[in-house]
Structure 1
Amino acid sequence: MKKTVLYLSILLISVTTAFSQEIQILDNDSSDPIPGVAVFNPDKTKSAVSDFDGFVNISGFRDNEVLIFQHISHAALQLKKSQIISAGNKVMMSQNASSLDEVVLSVSKFGQNKRDIPQQIVSVNSEDVLFSNPQTAADLLERSGQVYVQKSQLGGGSPLIRGFSTNRLLIAVDGVRFNTAIFRAGNVQNVISIDPFAVERTEVILGPGSVAYGSDAIGGVMSFYTKKPKFSFEDGLAISGNATVRYATANNEKTGHFDFNIGAKEWAFLTSVTYSDFDDLEMGSKGPDDYLRPDYVETINGIDTIIENENPELQKFTGYSQINAMQKIRYRPSDKWNFDLGLFYTTTSDYPRYDRLIRRRNGELRSAEWYYGPQEWLSGNLQARNTAYNNSFFDESVATISFQQFKESRNDRDFGDNILFQTEEKVSAYTVAWDFEKDWNETKFNYGVEYVYNKIGSTGQQTDVTTNIATRDVSRYPDGSTWQSIAAYASTTLKFTDDLSFQGGMRYNQVIVDATFDPTLYDLPFEEANINTGAFTGSAGLSFNPNETLGLRMNFGTAFRAPNIDDVGKVFDSEPGSVVVPNPDLEAEYAYTGEIGTTLNFENVVKLDVATFYTVLEDALVRRDFELGGETEILYQGELSNVQAIQNSGKAEVYGFEAGLEINFSKALQLTSQYNITDGYTDEDDGSRAPIRHAAPQFGNTHFIYNKGKLKVDAYVVYNGQFDFQDLAPSQQNNAYIYAEDENGDPFSPSWETLNVAAQYKLTDALQLNATLENITDQRYRTYSSGITAAGRNLIVAATYVF
């Protein structure tokens, strides 16, 4: 018995000692953990690598031994083990100046040096978000300077990347697919469900990402990594947090945010809540009168009435409110296991679709009402990360189980009509994935499997607003339809030399779509739409960095998008003069992209990054005229409308050029600039070529930044090129109501630029003040394809308190 107690005591002491010698490596500026730090002694007989959270066990080193810390994006550091233990088991490393040395997570789903990646990557961290004060995640992406954003209403934002948007772009949150089976070819505004305050880091892959992410990742991938709870290395609990309040004048924004962290040695908890309330948005005073809001509709005593707008620059019925909540829980039973649970809930109020409220028919406003019901996102995401460097099959693995539920609805009623048409959709999305990484000296191997299942609930009804009597109506999608994706992938990064690396991979994806149409609702020549299609995709690229000055990269990748429920089964999605009907005869579309880029870095004083790309999209899923039961026109909601459907038709070509410049005049003074050019064409049925719809005009920004001590100031210009009538896609030429009118009476998208200034001042270590004055010259402008006019002169003030 005594021996047993002795053995248990020895074991307990050994485990406690080992755990006490686990240290965490943090960034000196942000206090964020640094993964992938190599730790070794001077003769390299002992070594270790920090995990995803910056933890590494140094029990194998002697107390008086010198440890060398080396990381691609941070300055090398040497410390004695005894120094580290006495400093509370924390090591702080300072960043290198070059952004080329960043560690990127989104490409392989594990930490990877940016200089070894042959694709263009854009990164935005939480400090950038706090400084720039984006109202939504769409605004966060737009301020990166390389993502264009379209808005149909204030409560929205649809990203455009390299000529693609919506269901040809992939959104991921903490590595989990955010796209659902009802993401449409038109603009999709769901990204606003992601709270910028809860995001630790955002990475945008410009170009295909199908090897790691599967269907939809044709034009790019937007990966949002939310904040993680932080553990305590001290006895007892470590409690920290911050609170922010913000106000903006252009839409009378009132936002409040708080988050707090409770950390113990093995458990950590993070709670984050944000509430925003927006009034109607006011546009600028200098610009096209076409954008003004001269009148609007109000229902007075049951009668739709046209009301003259006292302030035509005020965009009536654009305001809404939103709440975002996140709860994170982490558990680390040992240095090899880490469990992360993320719970998310986001909802909005009803919010009007502004571009539909300004449509006219015969010179009069067409709609009395057009609004979305609350947009809800509920998500639970459990990840188990295992680090096992002596394992033959992997060094690190991440198993993911996720459930998401999305809700949205559409409600519209024509002026003078008693019938309110309503559809409601609910998507339940399940994801199971297991990703692995194995590192053999200069070779990294990543592989994994993934299963995604979406089930769609969809209902429709007509409600007589005078009697409040509702009757069943055609739903937007076939109720109970499903979309499944089964995939396996493998990729590798090879370091041929210190200067030359190769990255390549392949993925196989099988997508299964099942939809059944209720014959009591749908008058169709078929009752089912079933698709079972597979796709191989691959990528190969080289990154060559012969010296500190020059970097070259080239990449070729394929990507695909399998038909989803919106393509196959959407019913009667009205636009002026047209309705869209189901089409069960669809196949996947494929993209082939080549990219070449170069970087020049002159002693971290002048940096230049340029890239050019070319993409061919074959069997493109596009909307074309269609026959339904031999009919090319049908009566829909009282209007004779042209029949259309999504079809595999022709080919599209997209190409462009991107350039970024950084000049560091001193440690405190910096100039940055970004410019993007995208163009492209699609083949029409008559053999002609038409401009591609989602290629943005030329756009960019230039920032002049002063950052020293407690003060940071950014004076910047945002600019946007012009699209003449002939530059607009045919669908946009038919949407004249959202554009300005040229001298010939044709719609066009004018060029614009805004002058802005932002400032941040740290009153104390705990209290920080931010102020931004946007659109100083009060320009009246709309971003391309948007139905809402951008804010006029806008003062944003915010205060953040850290505890």
Structure 2
Amino acid sequence: MSFVRNINRRHAISIGVLGGLLPFAALADNSVTLQDSIVTATQTAHSELSVPASASVITRAELDKMPVYDLADAIKRLPGVHINTSSAYGRKEIKIRGMDSDYTLLLVNGRRINSRDALTSNYANDFDLSSIPMAAVERIEVIRGPMSSLYGADALGGVVNIILRQPTNATEAGVAYSYEHPTEGDNGDVHQTSGYLSGALVENKLLGNLIVQSTDQSAWQTDQLSLTGTDAVEQRQGDNVLGSLSWLLDEQQSIDLDVSHREDDRKARWNNFGALVTNVQNMDRTTFGVTHNGNWDSFNSRVRYYYEDVELSDDSEIMTKLRGRVGKVEQNNHTVDGQVSTTLGSHLLTAGSELRRTTLTHNQNLGSETEVDQQAVYLQDEFSLGALDVTLGGRWDDHEVYGGKFSPRLYGIYNLTDNWVLKGGAGKAFKAPDITQSDDTYSVLACRGMCQIVGNPDLKPETSVSYELGTLYQNERLQAGIMFFNNDIEDMIVSDSWRAGYRPKVMTYTNVSEARIQGYELQGRYAFTDTLAVHANYTYSDAEDRDTGEQLNYSPQHVANAGIDWQALPALGFNLDYQYTGSQMLVVPAKSASFESGAYDTVSVSTKYQATKELALKAGLNNLTNTKRDDVAQSIDHILMGRTVFVGFSYDL
């Protein structure tokens, strides 16, 4: 028996226009059918209308429209999402609803990916974002808001789940190539090549696929930089290979096996208080997973093991000069989990458990290998009370160092009509300090190499309580919604930092801050015809440090996106996208203080032409207006890439 809700949905109504469209909701009463289901929020399938969370989906077709090199590129136009520049040479991080990137949990097929302990956050998040080849992605699900009741620590801000393409019984193959060129500055060209092969090794019994991808980006220089000879975007070379096998034991059981490997090499020249230094880092990431899936008469089951090995070589000039040798770091993540879903009367129950072990070695820190174990159990109940659908869940995590934490969650959806719902809920989440923050034998170079931050074993986990309430309407042409949210964080972990008159050589982390992030999201889409649609979203988030009353750094209050999708001919489509990022506070290290950086916006256009059944061509311009960021951002070398032109093709058999 199957417990996945039968939800179909036409792709033409994915996400889109502002809450101002809500008054028109009563004009139509067509039932909603949607093809794209969301599983991340509950581990059971829902439509975007019925999912008990604020959620969005990016499909394979949407990824094919634009040059997308990593996860940040793929989701940057979704409501509540801000892609922040996290380094002076173009590295990025995902912020959801004003929360730091550390609070965004990244998953691949529901399994976490994490190299955070091998690197500080400014590095690890960016390496994680590029760890999965975009050619391997079937869709991406983004949940905005805490999800610790299912996924445990690190999910305070939200969850990004990458769903990979599955092996097919029919033989499929394809190649793709794209090229992007900046129209100003020096160098910066990007070449991306990928190949895909899928089919049956044994018909209806053993299916497999293989995906390879290579990305080569040269460093980009511009006269906006504060020091001549430095890079606004670092040089990157990345090669991915990913393969999977699915053994269909019978109609009820399958065993899935997947293996991946990525080599990720980075090099940049940057300004260290007036001195040009070189940053070189190479990361090799290898993963292995095996899963048993069962679809039994009275329940569904899943048991899996997942292994991730991350090896980092840090040959940065500051590292080698100050510590005398190349940094060598290795992080191993082992995860075993199991889950069962069944119905009991009118209740859909999901129960599961998880065991995780993280092992870290560092040749310049951690006198010996460090190992941390975590285990968890969770239970979720989905049921209906008339027109009200209720999701009630809770998870107990037992951390080897920080003990037990309970994360409850309650969510309700009231069905006003088949097309219109009220939804809202509350939840509690937590985040345990990582090894870099808690181990007093681990120190991170900071202050551009002139100080170090040492772990504090007395830290407490961060906790948050969140609430959201809103409404969403969908029919075959219109989608519109508004969601209000509030998130209070206690015992926020902050690192000490230099400020006027205070410049110690050694600092640490403390639980001293409380933060409140509150605001609202508007989103909508309207299809004028089957070939012409508009979409837009707007997010207001007030991210405040409750200790100082000041706005959190790198958190713009206003973010908006809008676009037009026009299928001019059956084989020819056009897309226009506009993105607005409001003013935000940026830290200027040279002045040991934060300053406001002004708003900026960008426009992108693209076209896709299906030349033949097999051959598709695409082209376009990013940052059409050649927008530049203001003097505050440029003073710390946070440079916005200027206008670029891109072309590409894909050929599918």
- Shorter-chain TM-score range: 0.7 to 0.9
**TM alignment of 1:81-480, pairs within 5 A:** 98=32, 102-151=36-85, 152=87, 156-180=91-115, 182=117, 184=120, 186=122, 188-189=125-126, 190-231=128-169, 238-250=170-182, 251-263=188-200, 264-281=203-220, 291-292=224-225, 294-296=227-229, 315=231, 318-352=234-268, 357-360=270-273, 365-371=274-280, 373-390=281-298, 395-413=299-317, 422-440=326-344, 442-460=346-364, 475=365, 477-480=366-369
Give the distance between the partners of 1:784 and 1:442, measured in 2 at CA.
55
Aligned counterparts, 1:329-728, within 5 A: 329-352=245-268, 357-360=270-273, 365-371=274-280, 373-390=281-298, 395-413=299-317, 422-440=326-344, 442-460=346-364, 475=365, 477-497=366-386, 499-512=387-400, 531-569=401-439, 570-576=442-448, 578-601=451-474, 603-624=475-496, 641-684=504-547, 688-707=548-567, 708-723=569-584, 727-728=585-586
Asked whether the equivalents of residues 412 and 421 of structure 1 are also in contact (C-alpha less than 8 Å), the reply is no
Shift of 1:646: 1.3
Q: In 1, Cα distance between the equivalents of 2:369 and 2:321?
A: 31
Shift of 1:788: 4.1
Answer whether contact 1:243 1:259 (CA < 8 A) is retained.
Answer: yes
Distance 1:282 1:186, change over 3 A: closer
1:714 and 1:416 map into 2 onto residues whose CA distance is 47
**Aligned amino acid, residue 432 of structure 1:** V
Read off the aligned partner of 2:176 and give its amino acid letter. Answer: T
Deviation at 1:649, TM superposition (A): 1.4
Contact 2:229/2:276, CA 8 A, preserved across alignment? no
Give the deviation of 1:417 after TM superposition.
Answer: 6.7
Q: Deviations over 1:58-87 (max 9, x none)?
A: xxxxxxxxxxxx644369xxxxxxxxxxxx
Cα separation, 2, equivalents of 1:415 and 1:293: 23
* Alpha carbons 1:157, 1:192 under 8 Å: kept: no
Q: 1:332 to 1:624 in 2, by over 3 A?
A: same
CA distance in 1, matches of 2:606, 2:572: 11
Q: Which runs of 5+ in 1 are unaligned?
A: 1-47, 53-69, 76-95, 232-237, 284-288, 298-314, 461-474, 513-530, 627-631, 634-639, 740-745
Shift of the 655–403 alpha-carbon distance from structure 1 to 2, 3 Å rule, reads same
Q: 1: distance between equivalents of 2:225 and 2:218?
A: 17
Structure 2: distance between partners of 1:376 and 1:796: 29
Q: CA deviation at 1:262?
A: 2.0
The alignment partner of 2:49 has SS state of helix
Cα pair distance change 1:109/1:478, threshold 3 Å: farther
Q: SS of 2:63's equivalent?
A: helix
Change (3 A) 1:592 1:735: farther
TM-score where L is the length of structure 1 = 0.72
Tell me: CA distance 1:680–1:582, structure 2 relative to 1, closer, same or farther (3 Å). same
- Aligned-partner SS, 1:609: strand
Structure 1 counterpart of 2:172, which letter? S
Residue identity matched to 1:581: V
3-state DSSP of counterpart to 1:389: coil
- Which residue of structure 2 lines up, in the alignment, with residue 73 of structure 1? 9
Letter in 2 for 1:435: Q
**1:109, distance to aligned residue in structure 2 (A):** 2.1
Give structure 2 stretches of 5+ with no counterpart: 12-29, 183-187
Please tell me the residue identity of whatever aligns with 1:248: E
Closer/same/farther in 2, CA of residues 135 and 415 from structure 1, 3 Å limit: closer
Question: What displacement does 1:144 show?
Answer: 3.1
- Give deviations 1:323-370, integer Å, cap 9, x for gaps: 111011110010110111111111112322x6xx1232xxxx234322
One-letter amino acid of the structure 1 residue matched with residue 458 of structure 2: D
Q: How has the CA–CA distance of structure 1 residues 616 and 486 changed in structure 2, closer, same or farther, with 3 Å as cutoff? A: same
Q: Which structure carries more relative contact order (alpha carbon 8 Å, separation 6+)?
A: 2
1:689-768 equivalences under 5 Å are 689-707=549-567, 708-723=569-584, 727-728=585-586, 732-734=587-589, 747-768=595-616
SS of residue in 1 equivalent to 2:438? helix
| Change in 2 beyond 3 A, CA 1:202/1:254 | same
Give, as a single letter, the amino acid of the residue that structure 1 aligns with 2:647.
V
Structure 2 CA distance for partners of 1:736 and 1:131, relative to 1, 3 Å = farther
Query: 1:157 deviation in Å?
Result: 2.3
How far apart, in 1, do the equivalents of 2:520 and 2:431 lie? 24
Checking the alignment, whether the CA contact within 8 Å between 2:38 and 2:45 is kept in structure 1 is yes
**Residue 500 of structure 1 contacts residue 544 of structure 1 at CA under 8 Å; is this kept in 2?**
yes
CA offsets per residue over residues 495-517 of structure 1, 9 Å max, x none?
223x32001100000111xxxxx
Report the AA paired with residue 706 of structure 1: W
Cα 1:326/1:389, change in 2 over 3 Å:
same
Percent of residue pairs identical:
18
Q: Residues 206 and 450 from structure 1, CA distance in 2 versus in 1: closer, same or farther, beyond 3 angstroms?
A: same
| 3-state SS of 2:627 partner | coil
* Post-superposition CA distance 1:217-271 (Å, at most 9, x none): 000011111111012xxxxxx4211110110012211111001012121011100
Instruction: Select the structure of larger CA radius of gyration.
Output: 1
Structure 2 CA distance, aligned partners of 1:492 and 1:694?
38
Kindly provide the CA deviation profile for residues 526-583 of structure 1, in whole angstroms up to 9, marking residues without a partner as x. Answer: xxxxx24210001001111221442110110110011220111231422245421121
The answer for the alignment partner of 2:646 in structure 1 is 796
Distance in 2 between residues matched to 1:256 and 1:693, nearest whole Å: 37
CA distance in 2, matches of 1:736, 1:99: 55
Question: CA, structure 1 residues 100+622, in 2 after alignment: closer, same or farther (shift >3 Å)?
Answer: farther
RMSD, aligned CA = 2.9
Answer whether contact 2:207 2:245 (CA < 8 A) is retained.
yes
2:32 and 2:418 in contact (8 A); partners too:
no
1:779 is matched with 627
The AA in structure 2 aligned to 1:160 is K
User: Could you tell me whether the CA contact under 8 Å between 2:543 and 2:557 is conserved in 1?
Assistant: no
SS at match of 2:350: strand
